[in-house]
């Protein structure tokens, strides 16, 4: 098992690393600007793939066996569909930054759309060495926890735009 996500080179390593280091429930201590610390319960779904893969765009070739990342998505009535995404090494190598982004967040904004109280929250972490920021998308639940939907780096410009938006209550 790799010790750090920055060492990941394959989809298989990313899946194994995610399952060993993130999957399940985690408690994160979130540092607020006021200096106050709060606990946040975060769930990483066992079969989550969005933190180390990207969507396959229409017209793109289907990923080969080495770069395909699959996940079963429930579609009601006990049936499911298979979501196929493409492994993204750059995202995979940033998995260690997800909890740090939540703990030391700089801004949190509600996702546009959705019912009030059921909206996803988009959390931006501190600057990475590249100057980018981690964007972590959380949905409400289960219970008082939040579930990590996705995480990926964004430019400083995208972060600045988020800083100008209405803030979400976080944690």
Residue spans of the domains in the chain: they are 5-163
Structure tokens at 57: 């765009």
Provide the β-strand partners of residue 74.
Answer: 80
Write out pLDDT tens, residues 19-65.
Answer: 999 999 999 999 887 888 999 999 999 999 999 999 998 888 878 88
For the entire predicted model, the pTM comes to 0.91
Determine whether 142 is exposed, middle or buried from the number of CB atoms within 10 Å of its CB (0-12, 13-18, 19+): exposed
Percent of the chain residues topping a pLDDT of 70: 99
């Amino acid at each position: 098992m790799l010790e750090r996500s920055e060492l990941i080179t394959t989809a298989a390593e990313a899946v194994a690393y995610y399952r060993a280091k993130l999957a399940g429930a985690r408690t994160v201590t979130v540092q607020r600007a006021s200096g106050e610390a709060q606990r946040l319960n975060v769930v990483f779904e066992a079969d989550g793939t969005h933190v180390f893969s990207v969507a396959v765009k229409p017209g793109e070739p289907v990923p080969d066996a080495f770069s395909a990342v699959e996940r079963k998505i429930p579609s009601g009535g006990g049936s499911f569909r298979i979501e196929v995404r493409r492994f993204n090494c750059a995202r995979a190598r940033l998995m260690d930054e997800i909890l740090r982004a939540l703990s030391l967040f700089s801004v949190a904004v509600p996702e546009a759309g959705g019912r009030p109280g059921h909206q996803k929250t988009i959390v931006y972490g501190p600057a990475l060495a590249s100057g980018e920021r981690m964007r972590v998308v959380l949905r409400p639940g289960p219970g008082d926890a939040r579930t990590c939907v996705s995480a990926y780096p964004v430019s400083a410009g995208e972060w600045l735009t988020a800083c100008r938006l209405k803030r979400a209550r976080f944690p």
